[in-house]
A and B are shown apart, each in its own frame.
Chain A
Amino acid sequence: MTSSLAPFVIFYLGAMLVAVSRGRVRQVLMLMTPLVGAWNLYILPGDTVITYHMFNYTLTLFQTDRLSLLFGYLFHLAAFLGAIYAIHVKTTSETTSGMLYAGSALGAVFAGDLLTLFIFWELLAITSIFLIVARRTERANQAAMRYIIVQVLSGVILLAGVLMRLHDTGSLAFTHIGLDGSLASLLIFLAFGIKCAFPLLHNWLTDAYPEATPSGTVFLSAFTTKVAVYALARGYAGTEILVYIGAAMAMFPIFYATIENDLRRVLSYSMINQIGFMVVGIGLGTELAINGAISHAFNDVIFKALLLMSMGAVLHRTGKINGSELGGLYKSMPWTTVFCIIGAASISAVPLFSGFVSKSMVMAAALEEGHGWVWLLLLFASAGVMEHAGIKIPFFAFFAHDSGIRCKEAPTNMLIAMGLAAAICIFNGAYPWLLYSMLPFPVDYSPFTAPHVVTQMQLLLFSALAFTILKLTHVYPPELPGINIDAEWSYRMGLPRAIRGIKAVFGPIDRGLRTAGMNLIHSTIGTVVRHHGPGGTMARTTLVGSMVQWVIILLGVYLVLYLIGPA
Chain B
Amino acid sequence: MNNGIKIGVPLLIVVALAAIAWIGTDAFHLDMLFGVIIPYIALALFIVGFVIRIIKWARSAVPFRIPTTCGQEKSMPWVKQAKLDNPSSSAGVVGRMLLEVLCFRSLFRNSKAKKDGDKLSFGSAKWLWLFALAFHWSMLIIVFRHLRLFFEPVPAIVTGVEVVDSAFQIGLPIIYITDVLFVGAVTFLFLRRVVLPQVRYISLQNDFFPLFLLLGIGISGVVMRYFFRIDIVAVKELTMSLVAFQPVIPENVGPILYVHLFLVSVLLIYFPWSKLMHAPGIFLSPTRNMANNNRAVRHVNPWNYPVKVHSYEEYEEEYGEKMKRVGLPLDSETNAG
Tell whether A pairs with B: no
B binding-site residues for A, Cβ under 8 Å: none
